[in-house]
Amino acid sequence: MEDTQWPVWEVFVQGNPGIPHKHVGNVHAPDAEMAIQNARDVYTRRSEGISIWVVPSNAISASSPEDQGAFFEPSNDKPYRHPTFYKIPDGVKYL
Amino acid sequence: MLPEGNWITRAPNLRRKAILLAKVQDEGGHGLYLYSAAETLGVDRTELLSQLHTGKAKYSSIFNYPTLSWADIGAIGWLVDGAAIMNQTVLARGSYGPYSRAMVRICKEESFHNRQGYEIMMTLAQGTPEQKAMAQDALNRWWWPAVMMLGPSDDKSPNSDQLMRWKVKLESNDAIRERFIDRTVPQAEFIGLKVPDKDMKFNEKTGHYTHGEINWDEFFEVIKGNGPCNAKRLKDRVEADKKGRWVREAATAYAAKQAKEREIA
């Protein structure tokens, strides 16, 4: 049998109820079940989590760092999407 | 098992044994974090391990010294992990995300190792004269290797320039060494132990300790593979990998079996 290091799984841990899972690192494992067990042993030894997701690394698609400027540019020129864009007179309340 | 692993079964009581096991598990994780960070640069972990096993990859000079008594486990936690924290808290602010994020996690866990080591030394230092002598002997043997593990002095450090230009490394070896010494010497004094450096003196003017000459010839010999335990360390590491192979094969076989059962169901 070939001695492999197995596929890489990205690990996401939810720290507390109600907050999103957050990427914490990765593990190598032969399948999802063992990836979750390895992730528990590596990333939650000190009560860091209540839930773990593992995702095969090669299943993740990412935006390209080189295109960062152009890719996110459309959001930069629309300041009117932010509430602070609008001038409200001092006397107006709850707005 | 790696050479100092023999102290797990020789820990003086169950509390210390459980703590040492937890520390070993942390250190295994630290290796994994760092291999993960290296893999983001596009190299396979199998390749990295093969470089380690064939002697091509370097590892910290500190791992080539023997652990002769239980006090060495204390000295390693206090001094070696203490020096590592001093280095790694700076690296945690470095420019390469996967590496600096690994360092943040490592530093959190090393703080426990640092304190458990000091506690072992403190307990021995407050024990019988023989126990105190054992603690002092461990300090005598580990002090200089710990001071040296922070890397060659700035004028002899070939990789520092490049790493500082990339902002992976933010402070020089000598700056970090000074901080390590400034913080550690009073810790030794507090438990009645003495660092083995007759030239060590506190300089009122600078607010720092000045230390005696460091034996860099020894350091470079250890780096080259001629330290007291280089060969033993590498042999044990290769052996540990070989002995772990059946576990990896069993996990692979189990995963294949599970996948097949899912197919049928």
Q: What is the pLDDT of residues B204-261, one digit of tens each?
A: 999 999 999 999 999 999 999 999 999 999 999 999 999 999 999 999 999 999 999 9
B257 Cβ neighbours under 8 A, 6+ residues apart: none
pLDDT tens sequence across A40-67: 999 999 999 999 999 999 999 999 989 9
pTM of the model: 0.90
The 10s digit of each residue's pLDDT in B82-111 is 999 999 999 999 999 999 999 999 999 999
**CA–CA separation, A8 and A38 (whole Å):** 11
Q: What is the per-residue burial (b if ≥16 Cβ within 10 Å, else e) of B169-198?
A: bebbbbebbbbbbeebbebbeebebebbbe
Q: What is the mean pLDDT of residues B46-56?
A: 93
Helix (H, G, I), strand (E, B) or coil at A14: strand
Distance between CA atoms of residues A33 and B256, nearest Å: 12
What is the torsional sign of CA B97, B101, B106, B112? positive
For residue B42, give how far its alpha carbon lies from the nearest alpha carbon of chain A (Å). 13
CA atoms of A25 and B124, how far apart (whole Å): 39
| Option in A4, A26, A41 nearest B252 (CB) | A4
Looking at the complex, report in whole angstroms how far the Cα of residue B189 sits from the nearest Cα belonging to chain A: 32
Mutate which: B243, B258, B261, B263, vs A, most A CBs within 10 A: B258
pLDDT computed for residue B183 by the predictor: 97
Best of B19, B21, B30, B32 to mutate (most A CBs within 10 Å, chain A): B32
- Centroid of chain to Cα B209: 23
Using the beta-carbon criterion (under 8 Å), do B49 and A34 form an inter-chain contact?
no
Q: What is the mean pLDDT of residues B122-139?
A: 98
User: Counting every residue, how long is chain A?
Assistant: 95
Q: For residue A18, how many C-alpha atoms fall within 13 Å in the half-sphere facing its CB?
A: 0
For residue A32, pLDDT over 70 is answered with yes
Looking at beta carbons, which residues of chain A come within 8 Å of B46?
4-5
Q: What pLDDT does residue B228 have?
A: 93
A27 touches chain B (CB under 8 A): yes
Measured distance CA(A54)–CA(A29) in Å, rounded:
10
Could you state, in order of their start, the residue ranges of all structural domains in chain A? 8-85
How many percent of chain B have pLDDT more than 70?
100
Chain B nearest CA to A25, separation (Å): 8
Q: Which helix (H) or strand (E) holds B30?
A: helix B14-39
Please give the pLDDT value at position A76.
78
Which residues 6+ apart lie within 8 Å of B130 measured at CB?
none
Per-residue pLDDT band at A2 (split at 50, 70, 90): low
Confidence of residue A77 (pLDDT cuts 50, 70, 90): confident
Residue A3 has pLDDT above 80, yes or no: no
- Check if CATH label 3.90.340.10 holds for domain A8-85: no
Instruction: Mark yes or no for CB contact B249/A3 under 8 Å.
Output: yes
Determine contact: A34 vs chain B, CB below 8 A: yes
Residues forming beta bridges with residue A12, ordered by sequence position: A23, A53
Write down how long chain B is. 265
pLDDT at B216: 96
Quote the CA–CA distance of B29 and B102 in Å, as a whole number: 10
pLDDT band of residue A73 (cuts 50, 70, 90) is confident
Mean of the pLDDT values across residues B17-31?
96
